[in-house]
């Protein structure tokens, strides 16, 4: 049987070996006509690159074998190997049918206990008995939760209400688990004392949240109606304009974003994109954009962009930037390219 009948198979075989001309043409046509096939092909190559075995993996595999054999020996000696997730994976896939009667029996046993607990909760909420911990009820009257429930709810609220939290961050006291789940330090900037506009900027999350991304993807909900657009909205709007070929509009929005939210992560990305847009047209300006991006935290990518711009300007500074890539980011994908370029630059 010919294995390359389906396009799905060609996606895999192309990673494994060189395809015949006919298959290569077929795959090319399929990928050109389908965005998702294009992404899957790239994803396959990306997975291959990321899962490649590297020096040091030999030791990891050796450790793996030793630990597994310890578990096997412990099992053979009468002990139970510690495999916490094993049951959860394979109960679903292999032993579920066999385990079902036992699960039902267990559920039947737990049902009365659950009902009793629920009855107690109802009694307390109707005032039949005082709360156990007055201090806790005073600080958080509506949400005495178990740790696990608090974590899940905190996550759900975070995802559901980004706009609300932007407008009015609520400093209500709550459990530490909720703190961890709701306030990700990477997503917020420290509160800034100063003008109202500065404080407003300080409350803007540095990364776009999923709901904001969806909102920004829709051209109908772009900044309007008197509300100030978030950094994520501006960035998404600029990207959309760029993809649709409205480069001037895109540049305008990137610049607006940089001006309004100079410290945001989107601003750093905007500088990088602007640098790429200006690379061929105005390399000197591109150098400035990439340096601005680096100043905001972008690193190897911005350095590489800067080196590319300097190469177009035939500037001797290119060498120093390339050397910095090799020195500071030796494992990045830019390092081999930088080394290759340095070899060409060698006198």
Partner 1 sequence: MALRLVHWRISPNSLSRRERADELAGLAQAAVAGDRGAVHALIAALAPHLLRTVRGVLGRHHPEVEDVAQEAALVLLKVLPSYRGDGRVSQFACRTAVLVALNARRSQLATKRGGHLEASAIDVDSLVGTGDSDPERTLAQARAAEAARDLMLSLPRLQAEALALHCVAGCTVSEIAAATDTPLETVRSRLRLARRALRQRLSVEPAWLEVLEAGDETR
Q: Which of residues 93-112 bind partner 1 (CB under 8 A)?
A: 93-94
196 binds partner 1 (CB under 8 A): no
The pair of three-digit structure tokens given for residue 315, joined into one six-digit string: 């500037």
Q: How far apart are the first and last CA of the chain?
A: 56
- Scan residues 156-175 and list those touching partner 1 (CB under 8 A): 158-159
Tell me whether residue 65 or residue 191 sits nearer to partner 1 (CB atom): 65
- Our CB check for partner 1 shows the closer of 149 and 228 to be 149
Q: Which is nearer to partner 1, 181 or 257 (CB)?
A: 181
Contact positions with partner 1 (CB under 8 A) in 245-264: none
36 touching partner 1, by CB under 8 A: yes
**What DSSP element (H or E) covers 341?**
helix 334-345
Task: Determine which residue in the list 33, 50, 146, 224 makes contact with partner 1, applying CB under 8 A.
Answer: 50
Does residue 112 come out as left (phi exceeding 0), alpha (psi in the -120 to 50 range) or beta? alpha
**Contact string (CB under 8 A) for partner 1, positions 57-76, x = contact:** xx-xx-xxx-xxx-xxx--x
**What is the C-alpha to C-alpha distance for residues 250 and 313, in angstroms, rounded to an integer?**
25
Taking CB under 8 A as the binding criterion, the range among 119-127, 128-136, 309-317, 333-341 that sits at the site for partner 1 is: 333-341
Nearer residue to partner 1 within complex by CB, 89 or 110: 89
Map the footprint of partner 1 across residues 265-284, applying CB under 8 A.
Answer: 265, 269
Q: 335 with 329: CB under 8 angstroms?
A: yes
Q: Which is nearer to partner 1, 201 or 303 (CB)?
A: 303
Span interacting with partner 1, options 98-106, 134-142, 206-214, 223-231, rule CB under 8 A: 206-214
Burial of 27-45, coded b for 16+ CB within 10 Å and e otherwise, reads beebbeeeeebeebbeeee
Considering only 21, 33, 88, 316, the residue that binds partner 1 (CB under 8 A) is: 88
Choice from 216, 229, 234, 310 touching partner 1 (CB under 8 A): 216
- Nearer to partner 1 (CB atom), residue 13 or residue 131: 13
Query: What is the Cα–Cα distance from 244 to 97, expressed in whole angstroms?
Result: 53
* Residues across the chain: 347
The least CB distance from residue 81 to partner 1, in Å, is: 6
Q: Footprint of partner 1 on residues 287-316 (CB under 8 A)?
A: 299-301, 304
115-150 per-residue burial string, b: 16 or more CB within 10 A, e: under 16: eeeeeeeeeeeeeeeeeeeeeeeeebeeebbeeeeb
Q: What tokens were used for 63?
A: 């450790």
Residue list 312-331, contact with partner 1 (CB under 8 A): 329, 331
CA distance 37 to 33: 8
Measure the CA–CA gap between 204 and 167, rounded to whole angstroms. 9
Report the C-alpha gap between 154 and 176 in whole angstroms. Answer: 11
Please report how close the Cβ of residue 78 comes to partner 1 at its closest, in angstroms. 15
Interface residue with partner 1, options 90, 119, 192, 313 (CB under 8 A): 90
């Amino acid at each position: 049987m010919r294995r390359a009948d389906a396009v799905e198979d060609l996606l895999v075989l192309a990673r494994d070996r060189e395809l015949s001309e006919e298959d290569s043409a077929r795959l090319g046509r399929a990928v050109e006509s389908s965005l998702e096939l294009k992404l899957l092909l790239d994803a396959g190559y990306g997975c291959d690159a990321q899962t490649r075995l590297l020096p040091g993996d030999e030791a990891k595999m050796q450790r793996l074998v030793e630990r597994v054999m310890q578990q096997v020996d412990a099992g053979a000696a009468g002990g139970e190997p510690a495999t916490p997730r094993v049951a959860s994976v394979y109960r679903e896939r292999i032993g579920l049918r066999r385990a079902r009667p036992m699960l039902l029996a267990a559920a039947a046993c737990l049902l009365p206990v659950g009902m009793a607990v629920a009855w107690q909760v109802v009694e307390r909420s109707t005032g039949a008995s005082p709360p156990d911990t007055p201090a806790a009820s005073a600080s958080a009257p509506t949400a005495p939760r178990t740790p696990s429930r608090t974590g899940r709810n905190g996550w759900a609220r975070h995802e559901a209400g980004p706009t609300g939290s932007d407008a009015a961050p609520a400093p209500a006291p709550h459990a530490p688990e909720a703190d961890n789940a709701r306030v990700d330090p990477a997503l917020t900037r420290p509160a800034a004392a100063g003008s109202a506009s500065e404080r407003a900027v300080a409350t803007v999350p540095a990364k776009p949240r999923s709901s904001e991304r969806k909102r920004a993807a829709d051209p109908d909900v772009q900044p309007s109606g008197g509300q100030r657009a978030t950094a994520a909205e501006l960035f998404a709007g600029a990207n959309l304009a760029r993809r649709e070929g409205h480069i001037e509009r895109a540049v305008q929005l990137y610049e607006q974003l940089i001006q309004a939210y100079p410290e945001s992560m989107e601003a750093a990305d905007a500088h990088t994109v602007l640098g790429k847009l200006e690379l061929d047209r105005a390399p000197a300006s591109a150098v400035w954009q990439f340096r601005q991006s680096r100043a905001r935290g972008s690193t190897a990518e911005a350095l590489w962009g800067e080196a590319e711009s300097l190469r177009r300007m035939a500037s001797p500074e290119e060498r120093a930037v390339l050397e910095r890539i090799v020195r500071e980011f030796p494992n990045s994908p830019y390092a081999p390219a930088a080394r290759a370029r340095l070899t060409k630059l060698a006198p």
